[in-house]
Structure 1
Amino acid sequence: MTTFDPRLDLTIERVIRAPRSVVWRAWTEPERLQQWWVPAPTIARIDSLDVQPGGAFVTSMSDDGDTFVPHADGLFLIVEPQARLVFTNAISSTLRPAAPAPVPMAAEVSLAEHPDGTLYRVVVRHGNPADRDRHEELGFFDGWSAVTSALAALAENDAA
């Protein structure tokens, strides 16, 4: 894991009471990811999930279950099974510079052993303080906390 720079980065950390393998599956299996990837009651659709370096990560979301709009279009940069995922929205799934995203970022998801299950940490990195601050203003902590809670509930239920 790289270092955290509070001027540029935002982070969420939580212990999930489930093995790393279960949390990993929730991130890497489309039918599981769609259950928690966007805050409820919004619904996620996983359009492409190719969990390998350079693989596409494309999702859509819907408030009514019928009309879906783009949510994320990026790619995986680093994949270390059951330990770390790094993805970005700065490069699209077509390997082109992304159309201006609300906030360009790279997210590092790390899973570590913990006596109670998995230490789950996400660090979202930004290129400059203005983008970091904008992401926080757009609701980073509310949104990522909500989906992390949904991820934990799914993983803990799967582990039970």
Structure 2
Amino acid sequence: MTAFDPDLDLTVERVIRAPRDAVWRAWTDPDLLEQWWTPAPTRTRVDLLDVRPGGGFVTRMSDDGDVYVPHNDAVFLVVEPGERLVFSNAITSQWRPASPAPVAMAAEISFGEHPDGTAYRAVVRHANPAERERHEELGFFDGWGAVTAALADLAERTASGV
């Protein structure tokens, strides 16, 4: 795990009141990921979710539920089941260098034990301060906060059987 650098990284942390396996499943099951990956009312379609080191992570999004446009084309770099996922959009799912819009990033998602469920943390790393600042200005905290809340809601409902 790389240390957090406030000049280059952004983070979202939350306690999710569900077991780690429920949160992990929401990240690794395409049907569940589609339910929370983009902020509502935008919809997600998962084209590829190959959760292994070197596996692809490709999604599309739609504002109208009809036309889906590319959203994420990334590769998983690290997969530690139930513990940690690391992916980057700087390399495509086909292992080609990429210059993704709006910013290139590497995201490290960790799932820790917590007395109330799962200590969830997403650290998004950027190449330089300007990219980090751009991502923040584009609404990182609102966007990643909204999808983390949707993830929590889904994992908590799934874990409780609702």
Superposed displacement of residue 2, structure 1: 1.8
Q: Matches of 1:11 and 1:79 in 2, distance apart?
A: 19
After TM superposition, the structure 1 = structure 2 runs for residues 16-95 of structure 1, keeping only pairs within 5 Å, are 16-95=16-95
Superposed displacement of residue 133, structure 1: 0.2
Alignment root-mean-square deviation, CA: 0.6
Superposed displacement of residue 101, structure 1: 2.6
Tell me the percent identity: 72
Q: Matches of 2:86 and 2:11 in 1, distance apart?
A: 14
Q: Matches of 1:100 and 1:75 in 2, distance apart?
A: 13
- Residues 81-103 of structure 1: CA distance to partner in whole angstroms, max 9, x if unpaired? 00000000000011000144310
Q: Matches of 2:154 and 2:91 in 1, distance apart?
A: 29
Count of aligned residue pairs for this structure pair: 160
> Which ranges of 4 or more aligned residues in structure 1 deviate by more than 4 Å?
none
Q: What TM-score, normalized by structure 1, do the two folds share?
A: 0.99
Q: Matches of 1:84 and 1:71 in 2, distance apart?
A: 22
Q: Matches of 1:146 and 1:18 in 2, distance apart?
A: 18
**Per the alignment, in what secondary structure is the counterpart of residue 76 of structure 1?**
strand
Contact map agreement 2:89 2:100 (CA 8 A) in 1: no
Note closer, same or farther for the CA distance 1:79–1:102 as it changes in structure 2 (3 Å cut).
same
Q: Matches of 1:57 and 1:98 in 2, distance apart?
A: 14
Q: Matches of 1:159 and 1:7 in 2, distance apart?
A: 37
Contact map agreement 1:106 1:126 (CA 8 A) in 2: yes
Superposed displacement of residue 119, structure 1: 0.1
Contact map agreement 1:90 1:101 (CA 8 A) in 2: no
Q: Matches of 1:2 and 1:126 in 2, distance apart?
A: 13
Report whether the alignment pairs 1:123 with 2:123.
yes
- Residues 94-153 of structure 1: CA distance to partner in whole angstroms, max 9, x if unpaired? 100014431000000000000000000000000100000000001000000000000000
Which 5+ residue runs of structure 1 have no aligned equivalent? Answer: none
Q: Matches of 1:3 and 1:11 in 2, distance apart?
A: 12
Superposed displacement of residue 5, structure 1: 0.3
Amino acid at match of 1:29: D
Q: Matches of 1:100 and 1:141 in 2, distance apart?
A: 19
Report whether the alignment pairs 1:143 with 2:143.
yes
**Per the alignment, in what secondary structure is the counterpart of residue 133 of structure 1?**
helix
